[in-house]
Structure 1
Amino acid sequence: MAQSYDVIIIGSGPGGYVTAIRAAQLGLKTAIVEREHLGGICLNWGCIPTKALLRSAEILDHANHAKAYGLTLNGTMTADVKDVVARSRGVSARLNGGVAFLMKKNKIDVIWGEAKLTKPGEIVVGAPSKPAVQPQNPVPKGVLGEGTYTAKHIIVATGARPRALPGIEPDGKLIWTYFEAMKPDFMPKSLVVMGSGAIGIEFASFYRSMGVDVTVVELMPNIMPVEDVEISTFARKQLEKRGLKIITEAKVSKVEKGANAITAHVETKDGKVQTITADRLISAVGVQGNIENLGLEALGVKTDRGCIVIDGYGKTNVPGLYAIGDVAGPPMLAHKAEHEGVICIEKIAGVPGVHPMDKAKIPGCTYCNPQVASVGLTEAKAKAEGRDIRVGRYSFAANGKAIALGEDQGMIKTIFDKKTGELIGAHMVGAEVTELIQGFVVAMNLETTEEELMHTIFPHPTLSEMMKESVLDAYGKVLNA
């Protein structure tokens, strides 16, 4: 007889494991199915280990500019790639163990293997169809394995994987995805990064700090295309000052492989082609949902552009089947997956007052140097919607804390609805802005107006003071500029 649960979640990434915990808190008998590693891509191969790499790069950058702080280092500061990677992997391993602990603490069954939907309310778990990128070795005690399992509610949280362009498919040696870029066994002297979204720019920034000659190729007119153009332009100038080469409105049309190098044919919008020879190429042209081999077609589950179609509460068109996170469509962010999962399971459990997610209030962060963070509408999108707006700006160069930190290159930009005073967008570039953006996210969720922000007392000296100054600037009241 099949083992039965109230809820089964397929995938243990941030969306999956957080949803499982919330389900258990709500008194639901819960199981989670995982084929590779607890914590998913984010914890093992994405958000967390990349930030560990970028932290090493940040410290190296500071050390290389120690003289600017009145400091002299005895000896040469160098990066040992094996040690840098080992630290990053160690951070992931620690958190991986933490997820296993949380599953046990919350009495959530872990089912080890690859799940396939066979009919509504039922899955069959078999051996993984492909070798694990990072196998869970040894398999945690107490996990279940292959077999048939049933549940009234099944939530698909299988995440996403790197997208590959035809003819430029990653091979793990010369053409890398983020998997190989995160654990290089040597430091290349030169690198081409194809794509300038968050993944591409973060790796470009990391490898440049490590002394690598980096060229970024982006199809759109601006790097980090989802960001406000003014912020993107500022970030590009700072990245180029650090030595990154950036080619926009261009595409890698062909890659020739040598014995230990590649030659990228880069075609610009006017049809001209230049060749760039480098040790390696990182393909960072986006990700696609993991919807294959799940049995979705047989059940008639609606999909669109490689993702599962859901309503505001994670419901698919098949009763009892839900989807959350990357597999359910953009924005493909860990914090979106977590919140989406909580909404889904609370709606299932009948928790009162559950609201659909407002995607306009999901922040985005890019942890390059300088950092970029944003929430809400860009200036261009606000104007495209026909909004009458006020825009405020404030420079890091006028902030005492930024100057004291030696991080005075950056800006904060706020966008308000002129009629209502509603904050509809906030965009930042500079030191630690990924830690500042939450202040504006909270403000937008509380429907805070410009008047309330102006009357909020920000501590001095802090970088956060610039947030208020940007608001003041939008209304002609800026004080320290």
Structure 2
Amino acid sequence: MKTRIALLALLIIAVAGFFIADLDHYFSLAGARALQGEVLVWRTEQPILLAAIMFVVYVAIAALSLPGAAVMTLLVGASFGLGWGLLIVSFASSVGATLAFLMTRYILRDSVQARFGERLQTINAGVERDGMFYLFSLRLVPVFPFFLINMLMGLTPLKTRQFYWVSQLGMLPGTVIFVNAGSQLSELNSLSGILSPALLASFVLLGIFPFIAKWLLAVIKARRVYAGWQRPAKFDRNLIVIGGGAAGLVSAYIGAAVKAKVTLIEAHKMGGDCLNYGCVPSKALIKTAKVLNQQRHGEAYGLDGSAATFDFRKVMARIKAVIAQIEPHDSIARYTDLGVEVIEGYAKLLDPWTVEITLNSGGTQRLTARAIIIAAGAQPAVPPLPGLDDVDYLTSDTLWDALADQPEAPRRLVVLGGGPIGCELAQAFARLGSAVTQVEMLPRVMMREDEEVASAVTESLSADGVIVLTNTKALRCEQSGGLKQLIVLNAHGEEEAIVFDTLICAVGRSARLTGYGLETLGIDTARTVKTNDYLETIYPNILAAGDVAGPYQFTHVAAHQAWYAAVNGLFGGFKKFKADYSVIPWVTYVDPEVARVGLSEAEATEQGIAYEVSRYGIDDLDRAICDSHAVGFIKVLTVPGKDTILGVCIMGAQAGELLAEYVLAMKHGLGLKKILGTIHSYPSMAEANKYVAGEWQKSHAPEWAYKYLVAFHRWRRG
């Protein structure tokens, strides 16, 4: 320990002395230029001694992580030319880097590993497996500073000899270019020499090297990942899409639109979960429940309130009719007309280019494609509760068929989950006559939203008769005396039995990750298919989009990702686009609706982002009062002192429609001043957006100017 402290002290003294003695001046361009004449004399008279001095100085600079390595490289190139200069710099930089690596390891590694060992396990395992490739990538594409790589690698399990030779190899292309630039600069004797082809070529290489290095690294990565697979000589298709939900349909549509040969494979129903089990049926159910609720509260509109009678089977029949009316938008016929080949069956990846399809009609078919998009979607997550399988539980997927022929809504309904799906279903079924108990293990429902929003949603649910139990953990399901019971651990730490006729699991959705060959290809999965910024898996030609890829599970995000997946899959060899998640809106269709885009207050606080809040109460809005929906608010987060929008939360009638104006503004960099300066129809709900912008303007009005305006108008009155 004492030796380490002593070594650290010596290093600190050496670095401090370097700057105190103003030695850093000699390692600037100006300092090097001043020394160049003297150095060239030494080059002529004592070349070996000069080479040794430069070698030692370079090693010292690299070992002590001092500034000046780039200037030294140019100076060595100017003194010895490309050949000998490359030899000196290549070995000196590698030796110096290795010394820095070893000193960091000796002084810090044990203490860092002891303190953060558990957190570093994953990193250590990755370094042991792929450390040399990581290091080669960092050396080849110099995104991180030279000295930082040396020190950080010293904290990892990477072996010293591996660090040395990989560093020397990875730095070689950049070293060649810098030494060559230095050698050309030494030959600059007049202004006309600036335009010499050799010098211009050297500077062009300096400029384009990072791009060449990135391309080379991508080629190396591709060769590495595809090793062991036999690439087809030609392909049957340009693009194969697995999954006919939102992401798959849009991917196929884009592929066909740019005249690619596209095959879409769907095992079940076209349109995916959104059309058949999610967005469409749930919103149809919510609308019916809302109309029924308005009828019950007719007195709010000057009518006699009455309890409407209805046949639940007709409600469910309407939902089926709505789905049937939308189905043609996603049908096989439509996509066939668009130029997409649609195959009904189960797809399985055999290699990075080959898909085997088990046809619904019988038999199998194999197709190859240059690009493959995985758009397999997600499925309801089901908690591992003892006894759950014995009570015929439902999910957001299965409830539509299970309840289709029931004359009335479930009498006693338990909804597991307090997220958007759980809240929407709980409120809708409560309005349709069910006695609903909603169970959420977290402290509140709608955990992604601010606490005031969650509280308002809870009040709304309670007003419709939903019993909302938070801090309540489901333990098991039991049947006793012909009654189904959910046993929970309530907020007081006591077991409690909740009797139910029907239980709906709405605890979230999990990506479909098995059954189509991801394991065979070794594609990384955790909660979703692991992709990079371009939605590529470890195989650049296999991409993923939609719920299976995350990070959001929204139909509109799936469609948004599909553009990137399709374009990168078809044209990624020439130009790639990073998926943009900077402005993602979402709406929860409880009543009143909750809509959000950007940061919430909780997220801004957690991320340490300063913000101001502008707020407008919808209870003050003329149109909301006319519609007897005068509840809710608009809350806008902005950069302090500016009208730049960081996030918006709206709670109220038509919140989803109102949000669109903010999504447009944030996407295109428009602030609240632009919204304030835009004419909004009267009377409309959209006026609320203008009024909240007015609240921002009012709070940022120049108070000092008002007294002058008062004086001005007094003077004008005479």
TM-score by length of 2: 0.61
Does the Cα contact within 8 Å between 1:394 and 1:466 map onto a contact in 2?
yes
Q: For residues 211 and 91 of structure 1, what CA distance do their matches in structure 2 show?
A: 22
One-letter amino acid matched to 2:674 = E
1:148 aligned partner: 366
Q: In the alignment, which residue of structure 2 is the partner of 1:433?
A: 655
Q: Does 1:448 align with 2:680?
A: no
CA distance in structure 2 between the partners assigned to 1:236 and 1:271 by the alignment: 22
Match of 2:277 in 1: 45
RMSD: 2.4
The correspondence of residues 394-409 of structure 1 with structure 2, limited to 5 A, is 394-409=616-631
Task: Give the CA deviation at 1:420.
Answer: 4.2
Is the 8 Å Cα contact of residues 450 and 600 (structure 2) preserved in structure 1?
A: yes
Question: Residues 168, 55 of structure 1: CA spacing in aligned structure 2 closer, same or farther, 3 A cutoff?
Answer: farther
- What does residue 309 of structure 1 align with? 530
- 1:155-208 superposed Cα distances (whole Å, 9 cap, x missing partner): 000000011111257649631111233341332111111101111111101101
> Matches of 1:156 and 1:38 in 2, distance apart?
15
Instruction: Assess, with a 3 A threshold, how the Cα gap between structure 1 residues 81 and 119 changes in structure 2: closer, same or farther.
Output: same
The answer as to whether partners of 1:161 and 1:287 remain within 8 angstroms in 2 is yes
Show CA shifts across 1:45-68 (max 9, x none).
111111111111111111111232
Task: Assess if the C-alpha contact under 8 Å between 1:231 and 1:428 holds in 2.
Answer: no
Q: How does 1:192-207 map to 2 (within 5 A)?
A: 192-207=414-429
2:524 matches 1:297:
no
Matched, 1:461 2:692: no
Is the Cα–Cα contact under 8 Å of residues 395 and 504 in structure 2 kept in the other structure? yes
Question: Do the aligned partners of 2:542 and 2:569 also contact (CA within 8 Å) in 1?
Answer: no
Match of residue 112 from structure 1: 344
1:181 has 2:181 as partner: no
Spell out the pairing of 1:69-218 with structure 2 (5 A cutoff): 69-72=301-304, 77-100=308-331, 101-127=333-359, 146-167=364-385, 171=389, 174-183=392-401, 184=403, 185-186=405-406, 187-218=409-440
**Is residue 20 of structure 1 aligned with residue 242 of structure 2?**
no
Q: How does 1:175-324 map to 2 (within 5 A)?
A: 175-183=393-401, 184=403, 185-186=405-406, 187-257=409-479, 261-305=483-527, 307-324=528-545
Matching residue of 1:371: 593
The 1:389–1:297 alpha-carbon spacing in structure 2 relative to 1, beyond 3 Å, is: same
CA shift at 1:473, angstroms?
A: 2.5
Output the CA distance in 1 between the equivalents of 2:441 and 2:522: 35
Other structure's SS at 1:308 match:
coil
Q: Percent identical across equivalent pairs?
A: 31
Partners of 1:56 and 1:97 in 2: CA distance? 23
1:5 and 1:30 in contact (8 A); partners too? yes
Partners of 1:159 and 1:124 in 2: CA distance: 19
Q: Which has the higher contact order (CA 8 A, sep 6+)?
A: 1
**Paired position in structure 1 for 2:645:** 423
Give the Å deviation of 1:355.
4.3
The code of the aligned residue for 1:459 comes to S
Structure 1 residue 475, shift from structure 2 partner = 4.7
Aligned letter for 2:541? G
Instruction: For residue 398 of structure 2, give the secondary structure of its aligned residue in structure 1.
Output: helix
The Cα of 1:379 is off from its aligned counterpart by: 0.3
**Aligned to 2:290, what secondary structure does the other structure show?**
helix
Aligned to 1:65: 297
1:333 deviates by 0.7
> Can you list the C-alpha shifts for 1:204-239, whole angstroms capped at 9, x where unaligned?
011011011111111222211111222221121122
The 1:422–1:259 alpha-carbon spacing in structure 2 relative to 1, beyond 3 Å, is farther
Q: What are the residue-to-residue correspondences of 1:28-39 with 2, within 5 Å?
A: 28-39=260-271
Q: CA deviation at 1:16?
A: 0.5
2:384 is matched by which residue type in structure 1?
P
Q: Helix, strand or coil for the counterpart of 2:241?
A: strand
- Kindly tell me: are residues 320 and 166 of structure 1, through their superposed partners in 2, closer, same or farther at Cα, counting changes over 3 Å? same
Deviation at 1:124, TM superposition (A): 0.4
1:476–1:385 Cα change, 3 Å: farther
Partner SS state of residue 293, structure 2: helix
Give the aligned residue type for 1:430.
Answer: G
State whether residues 353 and 370 of structure 2, in contact with CA within 8 Å, keep that contact through their aligned partners in structure 1: yes
Query: Which of 55, 80, 103 is matched with 2:287 structurally?
Result: 55
Match of 2:561 among 336, 340, 349: 340
Partner Cα distance (2:370, 2:538) in 1: 15
Q: Secondary structure of 2:397's partner? A: helix
> Residues 113, 151 of structure 1: CA spacing in aligned structure 2 closer, same or farther, 3 A cutoff?
same
Q: Deviations over 1:91-135 (max 9, x none)?
A: 11232233223202211101111000001110001156xxxxxxx
Residues 170 and 176 in structure 1, CA contact (< 8 A), matched pair in contact too: no
AA in 1 matched with 2:348: K
After superposition, the Cα gap between the structure-2 partners of 1:168 and 1:71, relative to the gap in structure 1 and judged at 3 Å, is farther
Q: Is the partner of 1:415 in helix, strand or coil?
A: strand
* One-letter amino acid matched to 2:553: M
Q: Which protein has the larger Cα radius of gyration, Structure 1 or Structure 2?
A: 2
User: CA separation in 2, counterparts of 1:396 and 1:168?
Assistant: 46
Aligned length: 463
Measured in 2, the distance between the counterparts of 1:172 and 1:456 equals 58
**The residue matched to 1:53 in structure 2 has which SS?**
helix
Aligned residues of 2:391 and 2:477 also touching (Cα < 8 A): no
Q: TM-score, normalised by structure 1?
A: 0.90
Q: Is the 8 A contact 2:541 2:569 kept in 1?
A: no
Report the structure, 1 or 2, having the larger helix content. Answer: 2
| Separation of aligned partners in 2, 1:146 and 1:78 | 52
Q: Give, in angstroms, the shift of residue 264 of structure 1.
A: 1.4
Q: Displacement, 1:243?
A: 1.6
Aligned-partner SS, 1:255? strand
Q: Distance in 1 between matches of 2:372 and 2:571?
A: 16
Structure 2 unmatched ranges of 5 or more = 1-231, 702-718
**Counterpart code for 1:337:** A
Change (3 A) 1:71 1:343: same
The structure that is strand-richer by fraction is 1
Cα distance in structure 2, aligned partners of 1:179 and 1:20: 24
